[in-house]
Amino acid sequence: MLGEFVPRDMAAKLATRGRALPEHLIDFSPDTVRASYNRHPFLVSHHLDQHPAFRLPTLFSLCRRLPLSEVKYRVGVIPATADFDSSYARFSKGLSLDDVLDRFEESRAYICIYNPERDPAYRPILESILSEVAAAIDECDPVITWYSTYIFISTQDSVTPYHMDREMNFLLQVRGTKHVALWDPADDEVMSPADRDRLLSMFGSQRATYSPSFESKAMHYDLLPGIGVHHPFIAPHRVTTGSELSISLAFTFRTQKSDKLTSAHAFNYLLRRCGWLPEEVGHSAVADEIKVVASNAAKVPISLLQRAWRARRMAT
């Protein structure tokens, strides 16, 4: 599985460790985090643009020593409306990774390095960021349970198509510029309750698709080196680079709170598959907690739910 689960004993110490660090890679404003975290996007400043580990030759060396499964790439001009999940396969043009690295700008390439935290040289840096994020959100969302990082290297005018992830994210710009469009995941036009349930289900996991009608609702952020933006939980987004080579780091993570939301949405999806119209997640704390317990138990087969639904229909 991608990413790293955070052991319980380690999670309990992360925030303390982050507060004790003599130097920080990210500058968080406590007031901004308190007001906006997981509600609205907000900008942060950071110092990764000054770190030698994020220079292009060092990153290309990382690409060459990682397993091929950890380095994904596309080449050429990618339409903004392309399907995110199939874009790597559709736009690789049969080129090898060495071909892409050797002719990176000529190929109009885009590289995503998956899980650089698994590399011994990068792990201490990314674990430091993990501790800093834990300290920053400790008051409002304690206990990080999982994290995963991605380094994006792209040539000019590159596009990451519209999509949404299943966690929170800090996207940190290291070199070049990026324009980030973000949408409110609680907006039912952008993502319906059924879309949210499907995205976070154990069986569906399909992302909701883009519509041109969403464009007027986008929130826009221009990222320069040393600037990043917070993506709230499952917030849809689209990213385009500027007119020069771009490097950025995405630090994605889950917490106990987001894990519970995921479980409640997953159970709602099962109910929908059985023909029920469940109450939306977030409308009732008691109902959500029951759904979390039922989902995590993973011992409620769909067939039983379907029989209960049929029995209910016969009784009405």
Name all domains of the chain by residue range, CATH numbers in brackets: 4-255 (2.60.120.650), 261-315 (no CATH)
DSSP H or E stretch at residue 38: none
Q: What residues does 168 pair with on adjacent strands?
A: 253
Query: Dihedral of CA 133/135/139/142: which sign?
Result: positive
Q: What residues does 121 pair with on adjacent strands?
A: none
The whole model's pTM is what? 0.90
pLDDT band at 38 (very low <50, low <70, confident <90, very high): very high
Task: Please say if the pLDDT value at position 205 is more than 70.
Answer: no
pLDDT, tens only, 239-259: 999 999 999 999 999 999 999
How many beta carbons lie within 10 A of that of residue 311, not counting itself?
10
pLDDT band at 165 (very low <50, low <70, confident <90, very high): very high
Phi-psi region of 38 (alpha: psi -120 to 50; beta: other; left: phi over 0): left
Distance (Å, rounded) from C-alpha 74 to C-alpha 42? 29
Distance (Å, rounded) from C-alpha 24 to C-alpha 164? 28
Mean pLDDT check: name the lowest of 4-13, 57-66, 123-132, 295-304. Answer: 295-304
Is 312 exposed, middle or buried, given 0-12, 13-18 or 19+ CB atoms closer than 10 A? exposed
